[in-house]
A and B are shown apart, each in its own frame.
Chain A
Amino acid sequence: DGGITQSPKYLFRKEGQNVTLSCEQNLNHDAMYWYRQDPGQGLRLIYYSQIVNDFQKGDIAEGYSVSREKKESFPLTVTSAQKNPTAFYLCASNPRYTPGGYTFGSGTRLTVV
């Protein structure tokens, strides 16, 4: 079945460490997105990518980095520069010329310990 796979479901990180969240899709979608969800804050856009080897910053990109070496994959790295990384992270994708055709992954809960 086609979909988006985010892994791991839960992730624990020590302060000062970088950590990478995985997002893989087999939907042949062009665009991929990373959102961060905090209680009472809704979803906020971190980074997005329209095509391979190209990506743009969203509203809260500081302390995060991404890559898009393959169409299927859009990993997010939470760096030690991110001051408050504990949050729920959602990956999404959508096909070309299909506004609103988002497919979401099931999310990764990151906790800094």
Chain B
Amino acid sequence: AQTVTQSQPEMSVQEAETVTLSCTYDTSESDYYLFWYKQPPSRQMILVIRQEAYKQQNATENRFSVNFQKAAKSFSLKISDSQLGDAAMYFCAYMEENSGGSNYKLTFGKGTLLTVNP
């Protein structure tokens, strides 16, 4: 079974600074997807960024970018110019490629709680 490991239970960053959240995963598959989700205090899950394993280029969404190292099975999230609204629990997630239909199961890490200090 695939596993996702987030080794940092908590992180903190100063407003406007940059922070990197770590994620490693274990899989024997070559085609898969990786995600970072944000869960603010409202507990609503919000997709932050997505990476297809077959793409070598790292995904970027505004202030959020990833460092995808396929051989090392590493998928870190960098948040630049941190804002108070970035404070949340961040989950790394893995999804196996499924060409057969609509069944796409997400496997989540345990999360990293990010605090942003003013």
Contacts and interface: CB of A to CB of B under 8 A. Distances in A.
A94 B91 CA distance: 18
A85 interface: no
Nearest to A59: B1
Task: From B33, B35, B106, B110, name the one whose CB has the most chain A CB atoms within 10 angstroms.
Answer: B106
B15 interface: no
A79 to B, nearest CB: 23
Interface size bracket, A side: 20 to 34
Given A90-B45, A99-B33, A99-B95, A40 B102 contact: no
Contacts of B107: 45
Interface in B94-111: 95, 97-98, 101-111
Task: From B44, B45, B91, B101, name the one whose CB has the most chain A CB atoms within 10 angstroms.
Answer: B45
Interface residues of B, number: 25
B104 A99 contact: yes
B101 A96 contact: yes
Nearest to A95: B102
A108 B110 CA distance: 19
Contacts of A102: 45, 47, 104, 106
B43 A106 contact: yes
B91 to A, nearest CB: 6
Task: From B4, B33, B110, name the one whose CB has the most chain A CB atoms within 10 angstroms.
Answer: B110
A50 interface: yes
Task: From A33, A44, A102, name the one whose CB has the most chain B CB atoms within 10 angstroms.
Answer: A102
B103 A31 contact: yes
Contacts of B4: 42
B110 A42 contact: yes
Interface in B62-118: 91, 95, 97-98, 101-111
A104 interface: yes
Interface of B: 4, 9, 33, 35, 42-45, 47, 50, 91, 95, 97-98, 101-111
